[in-house]
C-alpha cells in the first residue's frame, strides 16, 4: 500500500459546491460513492476549503478535510493543511517479495489517521518546491473478508514486520514537482515530474524508522488532428530502513491493481522497493467517451541493487474513460496477465 505523501495537486480551478465522486478508495473496496465539497473564503477569495467523504459496499471509508492557501506571496507560495482518516477492513496480502504464491492469499484491516501540512514555493508557473511534515497513527488488525484467512493466521511477525504491532510516526520530507501538462484532469500534452523524499520516525518502539523516496515521471504526446494521446509513466519507490530498523509491511510499496499493473489483483506484489511502467493510447470516441489501449509492467524487489528491467511482470488491456466536460468522471479497464483477467472501475485516469 503506497502511503507516500505525494505532492498534492492544487485544484484551484475546481468550482465551489458539492459534487459526487468515485475517487479516493482502493479498487478492491467494491462499489463506492462519495461527495466532495469545495468552498472559497471569502467568495472567490484566497482561502479554499475541501472536504471529502466516501464509502463503499464493503464498508471501506475515507474522510478528508483540507484548508488550502494556494496564492500566498502573489501566487509564489502555498500552504496546505490536511486531516485524513481511512478505514480499509479487508486488504489483500500474499506475503513479501516477488515470488509469493496465490494460494497464500490472506487479508488484514488497515486504519490510519494522518495530520500533515505542506508549505512551498512556486518560483516558476510549472515548478513547485516544498516541505511536508505531520503525524501518522496506524492500526492493523484481523481482516474482515471471510473468504480468506486473516493475515496473522498465515504469517508471523518474523516474516512480516509490523503485522502484530504498529508504531505511530512523525514524518517529514521534501519534494520537487515540475508540471507542464495542459490540463491536469485530462492531459493531452506536456509532462509531470515528481520527486519526493520522506522520513518516517517510529515514535513508540524504535524499530520501524525508515526513509522513502518516490520518483514519478509522466509524459503526454498529442497525436494527429483527432487529439489522440500517447501517455507514458515511470514510477519508482525505494524504502530504506535505518540500521537495526525495519520497514513495516503496510508501508512498503505494492504492484498490481487499477493504479499500476492492471492485469494483477490489487496489491498482488509487495516489498521494500518497486518499479512500474505504464503506456496508454487514448483515442476520443465522441465528446463523452475515450477508448484506451494500454500496456503495463512492474516488479517489487528487496535490495535497491536489483533495480533494472529484468523480471518485470507484464499486463495489457483495453478500457474507456467517461467524461463530464474536461473531467474524467469514470474509468473502466480490463487488464490481462499470466494470472488471468481483471476488471477495474474507478474515478479518473490511471495517471
What is the per-residue burial (b if ≥16 Cβ within 10 Å, else e) of 27-42? bbbeebebebebebee
Distance separating alpha carbons of residues 217 and 187, to the nearest angstrom:
14
- Averaged pLDDT for residues 321-328: 86
DSSP letter assigned to residue 151: H
**147 CB-side CA count, 13 A:** 5
Residue 3 is predicted with a pLDDT of 46
E strand or H helix at 70: strand 61-71
Nearest to 1 by CA among 305, 333, 207, 247: 247
Mean predicted confidence (pLDDT) in 313-324: 95
- Domains of the chain in start order, with CATH, are 75-346 (2.40.160.50)
pLDDT of 174 over the 80 cut: yes
pLDDT at 137 over 60: yes
pLDDT tens for residues 70-124?
999 989 999 999 999 999 999 999 999 999 999 999 999 999 999 999 999 999 9
The closest alpha carbon to 256, from 93, 60, 86, 104, belongs to 93
Q: What is the mean predicted confidence (pLDDT) over 175-189?
A: 94
The four Cα atoms 33, 150, 276, 119 give a dihedral, to 10 degrees, of 60
DSSP per position, 168-202: -EEEEEEEEEEE--S-TTS-SSEEEEEEEEEEEEE
Q: What is the mean pLDDT of the chain?
A: 93
- 310: region left, alpha or beta (phi > 0 left; psi from -120 to 50 alpha): beta
Closest CA to 211 of 196, 190, 232: 196
- ∠ CA 64-278-339, rounded to 5°: 95
Q: Tens digits of per-residue pLDDT, 290-314? A: 999 999 999 999 998 888 899 999 9
Mean per-residue pLDDT, 165-188: 96
* pLDDT for 9: 44
SS3 of residue 76 by DSSP: coil
- Most confident option among 23-32, 151-160, 222-231: 151-160
Angle subtended at Cα 133 by Cα 128 and Cα 138, rounded to the nearest 5 degrees: 125
Predicted TM-score of the model (pTM): 0.91
Give residue 44's pLDDT band: very low, low, confident or very high (50, 70, 90).
confident
Q: Is the peptide bond before 42 cis (omega within 30 degrees of 0)?
A: yes
Nearest Cα to Cα of residue 44 among 80, 8, 13: 13
Asked whether the predicted pLDDT for residue 50 surpasses 80, the reply is yes
User: How large a percentage of the chain has pLDDT more than 90?
Assistant: 80
pLDDT at 46: 87
Write out pLDDT tens, residues 3-29: 444 444 444 456 789 998 888 888 888
pLDDT number for residue 14: 67
Amino acid at each position: 500500500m503506497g502511503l507516500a505523501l505525494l505532492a498534492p495537486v492544487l485544484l484551484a480551478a475546481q468550482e465551489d459546491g458539492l459534487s459526487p465522486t468515485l475517487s479516493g478508495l482502493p479498487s478492491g473496496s467494491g462499489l463506492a460513492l462519495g461527495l466532495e465539497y469545495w468552498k472559497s473564503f471569502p467568495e472567490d477569495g484566497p482561502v479554499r476549503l475541501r472536504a471529502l467523504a466516501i464509502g463503499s459496499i464493503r464498508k471501506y471509508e475515507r474522510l478528508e478535510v483540507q484548508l488550502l492557501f494556494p496564492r500566498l506571496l502573489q501566487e509564489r507560495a502555498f500552504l496546505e493543511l490536511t486531516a485524513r482518516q481511512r478505514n480499509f477492513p479487508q486488504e489483500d496480502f500474499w506475503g513479501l517479495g516477488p515470488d509469493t504464491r496465490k494460494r497464500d492469499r490472506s487479508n488484514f484491516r488497515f486504519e490510519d489517521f494522518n495530520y500533515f501540512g505542506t508549505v512551498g514555493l512556486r518560483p516558476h508557473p510549472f515548478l513547485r518546491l516544498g516541505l511536508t511534515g505531520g503525524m501518522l497513527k496506524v492500526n492493523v488488525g484481523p481482516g474482515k473478508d471471510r473468504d480468506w484467512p486473516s493475515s496473522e493466521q498465515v504469517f508471523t511477525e518474523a516474516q512480516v514486520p509490523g503485522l502484530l504491532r504498529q508504531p505511530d510516526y512523525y514524518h517529514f520530507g521534501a519534494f520537487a514537482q515540475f508540471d507542464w501538462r495542459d490540463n491536469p484532469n485530462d492531459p493531452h500534452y506536456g509532462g509531470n515530474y515528481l520527486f519526493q523524499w520522506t522520513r518516517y520516525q517510529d515514535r513508540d518502539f524504535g524499530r520501524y524508522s525508515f526513509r522513502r523516496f518516490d520518483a514519478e515521471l509522466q509524459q503526454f504526446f498529442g497525436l494527429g488532428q483527432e487529439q489522440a494521446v500517447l501517455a507514458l509513466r515511470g514510477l519508482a519507490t525505494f524504502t530504506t530502513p535505518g540500521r537495526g530498523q525495519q520497514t513495516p509491511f503496510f508501508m512498503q510499496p505494492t504492484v498490481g491493481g487499477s493504479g499500476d499493473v492492471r492485469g494483477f489483483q490489487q496489491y498482488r506484489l509487495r516489498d521494500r522497493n518497486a518499479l512500474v511502467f505504464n503506456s496508454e493510447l487514448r483515442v476520443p470516441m465522441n465528446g463523452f467517451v475515450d477508448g484506451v489501449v494500454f500496456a503495463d509492467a512492474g516488479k517489487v524487489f528487496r535490495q535497491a541493487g536489483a533495480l533494472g528491467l529484468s523480471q518485470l511482470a507484464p499486463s495489457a488491456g483495453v478500457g474507456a474513460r467517461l467524461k463530464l466536460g474536461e473531467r474524467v468522471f469514470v474509468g473502466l479497464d480490463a487488464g490481462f496477465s499470466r494470472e488471468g483477467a481483471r476488471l477495474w472501475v474507478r474515478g479518473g485516469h490511471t495517471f
